[in-house]
Amino acid sequence: MTTTFVLLPGAGSDSWYWHLVAPRLRSEGYDVLTPDLPWTDAGAGLAEYTDVVVDAIGERSGVVLVAQSMSGFVAPMVCERVPVELMILVAAMTPKSGESPGEWWAATGQEQAQREKADREGRAVEFDVREMFFHDVPDEVTEQAFERGEHNPSDTPFQKPWPLAAWPDVPTRFLLCRDDRLFPAEFQRRVVEQRLGIVPDEMEGGHLPALARPEELTEKLLAYVRSS
């Protein structure tokens, strides 16, 4: 059976986010899908994002679903509709039943955790995209990202509650990034244990490991598959 990696980007991002990881996985003989989610479409929410992924998977089997950041809300919904062998959450949001993505931030204490990390490191609390997300991404990759322009997500997906009654019964791994400024490591350790009942794995780097550390992230993903 062929293993298919399905790589989901975070809010406002697209398949380009995985452009340094996908070729590495393909070179190891794996099928790779990088569906673009309609983040900017005001008529689309979590259900529509899920439809896009399910349609992209089609009849494929041996699916390994990898979800970055806000796609942590989408991946479990996909698992309810297609057979998934393994779900890997990377620097992801972990919802609970009835909680909308907009409510998640206050419910988990994310803002306080982000502020406390900034204070410890002597950084300004004010939001800056480069400082928050690209502080460890190579300059040339950062410039490519900014040249591609912004894809600000619509408010729609943040408004409706996550519809699942519980997390799906699918083998799940969580990979946090120790220098993530948006979702600090100690915050993720607590939330993941509370909501998933597992201890997350860890790697170095910030919130965008597929851009900052693609080789290391690829090796982590391959290790998960080979040990499953």
Let me know how long the chain is: 228
Selection from 53, 91, 97 nearest residue 72 by Cα: 91
Per-residue model confidence (pLDDT) at position 228: 82
pLDDT in tens, 162-187: 999 999 999 999 999 999 999 999 99
Answer for the pair 180, 110: CB distance below 8 angstroms, yes or no. no
Q: How far apart are CA 95 and CA 103, in angstroms?
A: 10
Task: For residue 133, give the nearest of 188, 74, 206, 77 by alpha carbon.
Answer: 206
* CA pair distance 123, 187, nearest whole angstrom: 18
Give the domain ranges of the chain: 4-227
Amino acid at residue number 20: L
User: Average pLDDT of the chain?
Assistant: 96
Task: Give the integer Cα–Cα distance in Å for 227 and 116.
Answer: 36
pLDDT at 126: 80
pLDDT at 127: 85
Closest CA to 213 of 203, 227, 222, 223: 203
Over residues 94-127, the pLDDT tens digits come to: 999 999 999 999 999 999 999 999 999 999 878 8
Q: Are 181 and 117 in contact (CB under 8 A)?
A: yes
Do 206 and 213 meet the contact criterion of CB atoms below 8 Å apart?
Answer: no
CB-CB contact of 30 with 3 (8 Å): yes
Going by pLDDT thresholds of 50, 70 and 90, the confidence category of residue 1 is: low
150: confidence class by pLDDT, cuts 50, 70, 90: confident
Q: How far apart are CA 21 and CA 139, in angstroms?
A: 18
Topology of 4-227 in CATH? Rossmann fold (3.40.50)
Mean pLDDT (whole number) for 148-153: 83
pLDDT tens for each residue of 30-74: 999 999 999 999 999 999 999 999 999 999 999 999 999 999 999
Work out the percent of the chain whose per-residue pLDDT is above 90: 94
- Give strand pairing partners of 145: none
pTM for the full model?
Answer: 0.97
Per-residue pLDDT, 220: 98
Tell the residue number behind the tokens 């990759």, with chain if given. Answer: 141
